[in-house]
Amino acid sequence: MQNALHEAQTIVLLGGTSEIGRAIVEQLVTPATRTLVLACRRPDEANPDEFARDGLNVVTTYFDAAATDTHDPFVRGLAADHGDLDVVVVAFGQLGDQADFDADPQAAAEVVHVNYTGAVTACLATAAQMRRQGHGHITVLSSVAGERARASNYVYGSSKAGIDAFAQGLGDALQGTGVRVTVVRPGFVHSKMTRGMKSAPFATTPRVVGELTAEAMRKGKHTVWTPGILRYVFMTLRHVPRPIFRRLPLG
């Protein structure tokens, strides 16, 4: 359970190797934190030593975002092993390549399944556990790509639009239960996922996303844009006529 300063004792990162997810966790871990779970498909690559400190038990465990039927028992198992789950960060996801999706619809389906269906079942299983506890905070990694789909990555963008809408609705549904939801909308982030890609305006880093997300969570905000200026940029872009939008250098 979180203490009076809203410091979490148990933090779970679904997508334990995600650079952005790890940057968020780095900002959330305090001396009050007793357990950190890094859950991912390749636990041997999760590098728990990066978070090692006195009094903190860092656990790596197998988690498959695509295996949606395992999510509820997985979350129940975490609670049985570690007690109440104070914060769960849902950071797994795949970007993929639009040209590959155009040539292979099944590849597109697999990415959408992870980014949307997997995130939905993981969030619902977590929300059910936190309802039973009577408290908790779910942080969901969305993207500005979901605000208005672009020709260069519309499969990825559509999956993020879906999970963003879901998470906003989940947050509203959990009002009054003691469970909060924060949706994170980063712009282009320099990371392993975007290595080799052309940068977009207002590009940022995992560290900045982590700092802004942790600050927003502490303030109880339901949505955080990283960087913040993107909120106003996309407020405008939503209304740009499509013929003009197609010609904008947005990556």
Per-residue model confidence as pLDDT tens digits over 172-225: 999 999 999 999 999 989 888 888 787 888 889 999 999 999 999 999 999 999
- 13 and 91 Cβ atoms separated by less than 8 Å: yes
Tell me if residue 116 is catalytic: no
Sheet holding 223-226, edge to edge: 57-62, 35-40, 10-14, 87-90, 136-141, 179-186, 223-226
Q: Is the pLDDT of residue 4 over 60?
A: no
151: which 2 tokens?
């020709």
Residue 133 has pLDDT above 80, yes or no: yes
For position 2, what pLDDT does the model report?
Answer: 63
Q: Where are the domains of the chain?
A: 10-246
Structure tokens at 156: 């990825």
Mean pLDDT, range 69-92, rounded to an integer = 97
Mean pLDDT of the chain: 93
DSSP code of residue 193? G
Distance (Å, rounded) from C-alpha 232 to C-alpha 7?
31
Reply yes or no on whether the pLDDT at 47 is more than 60.
yes
Residue 30 to residue 93: CA distance in whole angstroms: 26
Determine the pLDDT at residue 75: 98
Q: Give me the helices (H) in the chain, please.
A: 19-28, 71-82, 98-103, 105-112, 119-133, 154-173, 206-218, 230-237, 242-245
Contact 136, 84 (CB under 8 A): yes
Q: Scan for tokens 């590959």, then name that residue.
A: 100
Q: pTM surpassing 0.85?
A: yes
pLDDT at residue 5 greater than cutoff 90: no
Residue 51's pLDDT band (cuts 50, 70, 90) = very high
Alpha-carbon distance 212 to 139, whole Å? 12
**Higher-confidence residue: 97 or 6?**
97
In this model, does residue 243 exceed pLDDT 90? no
Query: Comparing C-alpha atoms, which of 188, 183, 185 is closest to residue 228?
Result: 185
Of 1 and 158, the one with more pLDDT: 158
What pLDDT, on a 0 to 100 scale, did the predictor assign at position 229?
92
Question: Considering the domain 10-246, what is its CATH architecture?
Answer: 3-Layer(aba) Sandwich (3.40)
pLDDT score for 1: 61
Q: What is the pLDDT of residue 24?
A: 97
- Separation CA 31–CA 54 (nearest Å): 9
Integer angstrom CA distances of residue 241 from 25, 116, 245, 246, 247: 39, 28, 6, 9, 11
Distances in whole angstroms, Cα of residue 150 to Cα of each of 76, 100, 132, 204, 244: 38, 16, 40, 19, 12
Phi, psi of 187 (to 5 degrees): -85, -145
Q: Are residues 231 and 225 in contact, defined by beta-carbon separation less than 8 angstroms? A: yes
Q: When comparing pLDDT for 60 and 242, which is higher?
A: 60
Alpha carbon distance 72, 125 (integer Å) = 5
Q: What is the percent of the chain with per-residue pLDDT over 90, rounded to a whole number?
A: 80
Which of the residues 62, 154, 156, 232 is marked catalytic?
156
Nearest to 138 by CA among 128, 125, 123, 116: 123
